[in-house]
A and B are shown apart, each in its own frame.
Chain A
Amino acid sequence: MTRSPSRSSPRSTELGLIVLTALITTAAYILAGFGTLASLPVDIGPFLVVILGLLVAAHLATRRLAPRSDRVLLPLAGLLNGIGYVFIARLDEGLAGLQATWTAVGVGAYIITLLVVRRTRGLERYRYTFMLAGVGLLLLPLVPVIGRNINGARIWVRVGPFSFQPGEPAKIALALFFASYLVEKRELLGKAARHLGPIALPRLRHLGPVLLAWGASLVVMMAERDLGSSLLFFTFFVVMLWVATERASYLAIGTLLFSAGAVVAWRAFDHVQVRVSMWLNPWQGIAQSVPQIAEATFAMAWGGIAGTGLGLGQPGRIPASETDFIFAAIGEELGLLGTTAILIAFILMVGSGLRIALRARNPFDKLLATGLTAIMGFQAFIIIGGVIRLVPLTGITLPFVSYGGSSLVANYVLLALLMRISDAVDEDDPAPDANEGRYPAAREFESPS
């Protein structure tokens, strides 16, 4: 049997892509150095070693711990992480070392997750632990002593010298809980009480979980003023509910509930009104001070199609350019080409994640992969859409790209879980050798329902 390149071992493909990622990142780093200082960055040696070392370490661990897992997810995450690092280093040298450290911790968390979680189904029995952990983490910033208000949002927790955003690990814990809970209850929740035309309405008492999640998301939105996370939690919960029950009515109910909540919040809270009016008219009051969304728009427009070139723009003018607004900084210096590349990277990751979900054999893996992918995809959409004014701006991090330890570590754990599920997909295959095509079309399009 001949082995065409596309059918070579996933790990070899992955290694090749990782080398490419390392090359791109290093080249970008050198260019950014030339652009800002007109000289070769002095710490180029250690930097190369760190980037290459971390990516290769993650690759080797995957090779050993999940040999048949997806081949593009890790290089894509590495690429996003690398480009993010280049911009963070270029924007604030002080943050570069921290971000490198967090990348190392993130890759460590990735390896540990693969090491500890050998079968995702083993996680099912901890569902209520995950629920408690998730809800607890979510509400942790509200605890008086350790909770911190930063930039008007109460989403930080500070213990001793360490501060982190518990919302980031919370979303994984909640995805795990939702997946296992919904797998058990999906039959029940899927039963229609009565039909309203084409819409099958669920029984009233089965709406309990939806209402609970809605309430939780509203608490997050109002008490912590964290609109982005609130939107994200509710969205991925409703999506998981819909996928699990195969009932579109949950989507409709979820949308209605969220819209109602949003309208109430808009009426009741100044900070929500500010966000909406800034979205509709970012030029308001521009004579006194330039709103951050307008500054981001200026940056992206200044970049145009090809960008100013790395290190040659003025992204320092954008507020929070290392975190929530890093996409605008990329837009300024790499232009439409760079921002499109980031979009493509995310849509490829989403595609890979959903493909993993499609191939997963057991419903728990399917749901978990769907949930984790939805988190990543929607999170990137919400913040990118906010920065470019497609939707109102709600501050959350851009996965793998933004500066921030909590976000980076959580996303690497999320990635490890997806990898684990994709590895299990193939473990279940009866005879890998006889299955040269690996993903036969027939199975891909079978309907399990």
Chain B
Amino acid sequence: MNRQIRRLGITMLVIYGALFVQLNVVQVFKADEYRANPANRREILRDFGKPRGQILASDGTVLARSVPDVGSFPFRREYPTGDLFAHITGYYSFSFGSEGVERSYNDDLAGRTGKVSVDGLAKLLVDEERTADVTLTLSPAVQQAAKDALGDKQGSVVAIDPRTGALLAMWSNPSFDPNAVSINNQEAAGAARTALLADPAKPLLAHAYRETYFPGSTFKVVTAAAGLTAGKVTLDEPVYPASATYVPPLTNLPIRNFANSSCGGSLLLILQVSCNTAFARMGVDIGAEALVSTTKAFGFGEVPPIDLPNATAATTADVAFFDRNTPLLAQTAIGQNTVRATPLEMALVAGAIANSGIIMTPHVMAEIRDNDARVIDRWEPRPWRKAVEPGVAATLRDAMINVVQRGTATRLAVPGVPTAGKTGTAQIGNGLSHAWIIGFAPADAPRVAIAVIVNGQEGASEQTGGRVAAPIGRAVLSAALAVTP
């Protein structure tokens, strides 16, 4: 019998060894996967049991804070500015998870980053919460100016410091009240969220960096940049013939100017009046490779590395796509058909021209401080990509100043400040169009770049962008110049 007993012992060792292996799988190797499972409420439950760091605007205005609460959890998130920064701060809800800065800087706000905890080890014995406050680059004054200027109209406003990539304002209307979905009463929060989801205007969606639109004529800046970069366009050459229509190769459908007007000329003039036929011709002349490579150099086709969750990439077609689609290449050159951009991306395009061709990485975080107000993290500005050579940027800057001085964007001019800009009107049918403006100021030493889109405006003439969007852009530029040194 002893032999069997020894074998039984070995069997026991083997099956307990299997238990040990499986324990390692569950508790070590796959632990992260299980922790991240959405059904696992442990992380959020723990975080809801303690206060969370604040989110502050650039001037110290509190945008989000934890306040004591009675009910399911000892704390709840409060957003004193209501809907103003909802698309930036996001929300922090027990039932629906988190969004915005609440999500992208969750580890800091919850006091879970290495920097907070390693330093916090010494203070482990004293009963102190180690959380961090996140200060943003956004200015309430500029944000409020954007909100006021846009008013009831649906659309988005983005203001950015082109030298650093810091966002100064990013507003989309409609917005929502993050307090409503963050309250601890889960039924009420659920009802609020359901109502927001049912709204066809999608107030929960941060349109400014998550929705793409045809950029329309604002894209002509990119087309011009492609022409200049390819060396096929200069300030003087070519001189595009004045015409009311342009029929690209391989089609008989003409591209028309607004109101069938006739236009043409060299770069300054065609940008000034936003001449469709000339830019369509330019796109076909320089070819798909030049246009697409410059478009991608501006960041199209790639998600901007902004420190907010789920940003959307501007889109463009590949070179090969245009092989047999020359008509589409012509349409692309005037910002239709194959290109779509977020308002954030168009602000980055304006910023690239303003910053000698370099697009700085866009960001909302300025710095993170621990409980003792010591800085534990500070945003170091870094370039995202080089869009064009400085010489090309300088030429386009002059061309865009000209547009504000004499062209379609005169309403963008900030009094006493040299301003550069480009309008856009992206037709969406039924006589409606998206009104765009991009620009920057002061044009000689730019501190602010902006993009504005006003959705679904009456009118389809090139004047729509200048009439509707430019005044909003001017208001935001003025407000932003006041807060940027």
Q: Give the interface SS of chain B, mostly helix, strand, loop or mixed.
A: helix
B34 within 8 A of A: yes
Contact residues in B for A305 (Cβ distance below 8 Å): 27-28
B18 interface residue, CB < 8 Å from A? yes
Q: Does B374 contact A (CB under 8 A)?
A: no
Q: Which of A244, A286, A347, A449: most chain B Cβ within 10 A? A: A347
A420 CB, nearest partner CB in chain B, Å = 18
Q: How far, in Å, is B96 (CB) from chain A's closest CB?
A: 14
B5 in the interface, Cβ–Cβ < 8 Å?
yes
Please state if B9 and A351 are interface contacts (CB–CB under 8 Å).
yes
Is there an interface contact between B1 and A243, defined as CB atoms closer than 8 Å?
A: yes
| B46 interface hit (Cβ, 8 Å) | yes
**Which segment of B35-43, B299-307, B397-405 sits at the interface?**
B35-43
**Counting CB contacts under 8 A, is B4 at the interface?**
yes
User: Judging by beta carbons under 8 Å apart, are B24 and A336 in contact?
Assistant: yes
A154 at interface, CB cutoff 8 A: no
- Give bound CA distance, A304 to B39, whole Å: 18
Q: How far is the CA of A304 from the CA of B29 in the complex (A)?
A: 9
Give which listed residue, B1, B2, B12, B37, contacts A350 with CB less than 8 A: B12
A residues near B33, Cβ cutoff 8 Å: 301
A317 to B42, CA, bound (A): 9
Cα distance A299–B33 in the bound complex, in angstroms: 12
- Assess whether A388 is in contact with B16, with CB atoms less than 8 Å apart: no
Count contacts on A: residues with CB < 8 A to the other chain. 51
Check A354 against B9 for contact (C-beta < 8 Å).
Answer: yes
Alpha-carbon separation in the docked complex, A358 to B469 (Å): 92
**Nearest A residue to B42, CB-CB:** A302
Kindly list chain A residues whose C-beta atoms are within 8 Å of the C-beta of B24. Answer: 336
**B16 close to A336 (CB less than 8 A):** no
- With contacts A38-B127, A347-B12, A354-B9 known, is A363 near B19, CB below 8 A? no
Known contacts A370-B8, A449-B3, A336 near B28 by CB under 8 Å: yes
* A residues near B37, Cβ cutoff 8 Å: 283, 286, 294, 298
Whether A409 is near chain B, meaning CB under 8 Å from some CB there, is no
Q: Report the Cα distance A358→B28, complex, angstroms.
A: 37
B42 in contact with A363 (CB, 8 Å) = no
CB pair A343–B5 under 8 Å, yes or no, is no
Bound together, the chains give a CA A438 to CA B413 distance in angstroms of 102
Expressed in whole angstroms, the minimum distance between the Cβ of B74 and any Cβ of chain A is 14
Cβ contact within 8 Å between B35 and A385: no
Q: Within A214-252, which residues are at the interface with B (CB < 8 Å)?
A: 239, 242-244, 246
In the complex, what distance in Å separates the CA atom of A246 from the CA atom of B12?
A: 18
Q: Give the residues in chain B near A339, CB-CB below 8 Å.
A: 23, 27
B45 in the interface (beta carbon within 8 A): yes
| Contacting pair B22 A243 (CB below 8 A) | no
- Say if the beta carbon of A335 comes within 8 Å of chain B: yes
Instruction: Name which residue of chain A comes closest to B31, CB basis.
Output: A301
**Which of A297, A343, A357 is in CB contact (< 8 Å) with B26?**
A297
Assess whether B8 is in contact with A243, with CB atoms less than 8 Å apart: yes
| Nearest neighbor of A291 in chain B, beta-carbon distance | B39
Let me know if B46 and A314 touch, CB within 8 A: yes
Q: Is the CB of A294 within 8 A of B39?
A: yes
| B8 pairs with A388, CB closer than 8 A | no
Using known A-B contacts A243-B1, A297-B26, determine if residue A347 contacts B18 with beta carbons closer than 8 Å.
Answer: no
Q: Is there an interface contact between A367 and B22, defined as CB atoms closer than 8 Å?
A: no
Q: Are A298 and B8 in contact (CB under 8 A)?
A: no
Query: Are A298 and B15 in contact, CB atoms less than 8 angstroms apart?
Result: no
Quick one: CB contact mask for B289-321 with A, threshold 8 Å, 1 for yes? 000000000000000000000000000000000
Q: Contact at B27–A300, with CB atoms within 8 Å?
A: yes
| B19 with A381: CB separation less than 8 A | yes
Bound-complex Cα distance A129 to B421 (A) = 100
Residues of A within 8 A of B27 (CB): 300-301, 303-305, 331, 335-336, 339
A246: B residues at CB distance < 8 A: 1, 3-4
- Are A301 and B34 touching (Cβ within 8 A)? yes
Q: Decide: A304 and B28 in contact? CB cutoff 8 A.
A: yes
Is B30 in the interface zone, CB < 8 Å from A? yes
Instruction: Indicate which residue in B3, B12, B39, B40 contacts A377 across the interface (CB closer than 8 Å).
Output: B12
Per the bound structure, the CA–CA distance linking A171 and B19 in Å amounts to 24
Q: How many Å lie between the Cα of A448 and that of B4 in the bound state?
A: 11
Residue of B nearest to A367 (CB): B1
Q: Can you list, as one digit per residue, whether each of A416-449 has a CB less than 8 Å from chain B (1) or not (0)?
A: 0000000000000000000000000000001111
Contact A354 B23 (CB under 8 A): no
- Among B4, B19, B34, B46, point to the contact of A343 (Cβ < 8 A): B19
Are the CB atoms of B2 and A343 closer together than 8 Å? Answer: no
Determine if A302 and B23 form an interchain contact, defined as CB atoms under 8 angstroms apart: no
Measured CB to CB, the nearest residue on chain B to A328 is B26
Chain A's nearest CB lies how many Å from the CB of B423? Answer: 48
For the complex, is A114 an interface residue (Cβ under 8 Å from B)? Answer: no
Closest to A302 in B: B42
The interface size of chain B toward A, counting residues with CB under 8 Å, comes to: 35
Of B5, B19, B40, B127, the contact of A243 (CB 8 Å cutoff): B5
Judge whether B20 is part of the interface by a CB distance below 8 angstroms: yes
B216 to chain A, nearest CB (A): 42
**In the complex, are the beta carbons of B34 and A336 less than 8 A apart?**
no
Q: Write out the residue numbers on chain B whose beta carbons fall within 8 Å of the beta carbon of A12.
A: none
Residues of A183-242 contacting chain B, CB below 8 A: 239, 242
CA distance A89 to B50 in the complex (A): 24
- Taking the complex as formed, is A384 at the interface, i.e. its CB lies under 8 A from any CB of chain B? yes
Chain B neighbourhood of A301, CB < 8 A: 26-27, 30-35, 40
| B6: Cβ under 8 A from any A Cβ | yes
Q: Is B445 positioned at the interface, with any CB of A under 8 Å from its CB?
A: no
For B4, what are the chain A residues with a Cβ–Cβ distance below 8 Å? 242-243, 246
0/1 string, A297-338, CB within 8 A of B gives 1: 111111111000000001001000000000000010001100
Task: Give Cα A302 to B36, complex, Å.
Answer: 10
A390 at the interface (CB under 8 A from B): yes
A366 at the B interface (CB under 8 A) = yes
A367 to B1, alpha carbons, bound, how many Å? 8
Task: Kindly state the separation between the CA atoms of A392 and B5 in the bound complex, as whole angstroms.
Answer: 26
**CB of B166, distance to nearest CB on chain A (Å):** 38
Asked if B8 contacts A239 (CB within 8 A), the reply is yes
**Counting CB contacts under 8 A, is A112 at the interface?**
no
Q: Are B31 and A389 in contact (CB under 8 A)?
A: no
Report how far A370 CA is from B9 CA in the complex, Å.
Answer: 10
- In the assembled complex, the Cα of A76 lies from the Cα of B199 at a distance in Å of 64
Residue contact A389 to B5, C-beta cutoff 8 Å: no
Given contacts A242-B4, A354-B9, contact A314 B45 (CB under 8 A): yes
Measured in the bound complex, the distance between the Cα atoms of B3 and A370 in whole Å is 12
Q: Do B26 and A300 touch (CB < 8 A)?
A: yes
Which chain A residues border B483 with CB–CB below 8 Å?
none
A346 at the interface (CB under 8 A from B): yes
Residues of B within 8 A of A37 (CB): none
Report if B428 contacts A (CB, 8 A).
Answer: no
Contact call A388/B26, Cβ cutoff below 8 A: yes
Tell whether, in the assembled complex, residue A340 and residue B20 are in contact, meaning their CB atoms are under 8 Å apart.
yes
**A294-B39, A336-B28 are known contacts. Are A370 and B5 too (CB-CB below 8 A)?**
yes
Partner of A388, one of B9, B19, B127: B19
**Given contact pairs A358-B6, A449-B3, A389 touches B39 in the complex (Cβ within 8 A):** no
User: A374 at interface (Cβ–Cβ under 8 A)?
Assistant: yes
Point out the residues of chain A lying under 8 angstroms from B12, CB to CB.
347, 350, 354, 377, 381
Which 10 A-B residue pairings sit nearest by Cβ, starting from the closest?
Answer: A301-B34, A301-B31, A243-B4, A298-B40, A336-B27, A286-B39, A390-B22, A354-B9, A347-B16, A300-B26
User: What residues make up the interface of B, taking CB atoms closer than 8 Å to A?
Assistant: 1-6, 8-9, 12-13, 15-16, 18-20, 22-24, 26-28, 30-35, 37, 39-42, 45-46, 127
A-B contact pairs, 6 of them (CB 8 A): A298-B42, A335-B27, A336-B23, A354-B5, A358-B6, A389-B26
Q: A298-B42, A339-B27, A366-B5 are in contact. List 7 more A-B contacts (CB 8 A).
A: A317-B45, A354-B6, A366-B2, A370-B1, A385-B19, A389-B26, A448-B2
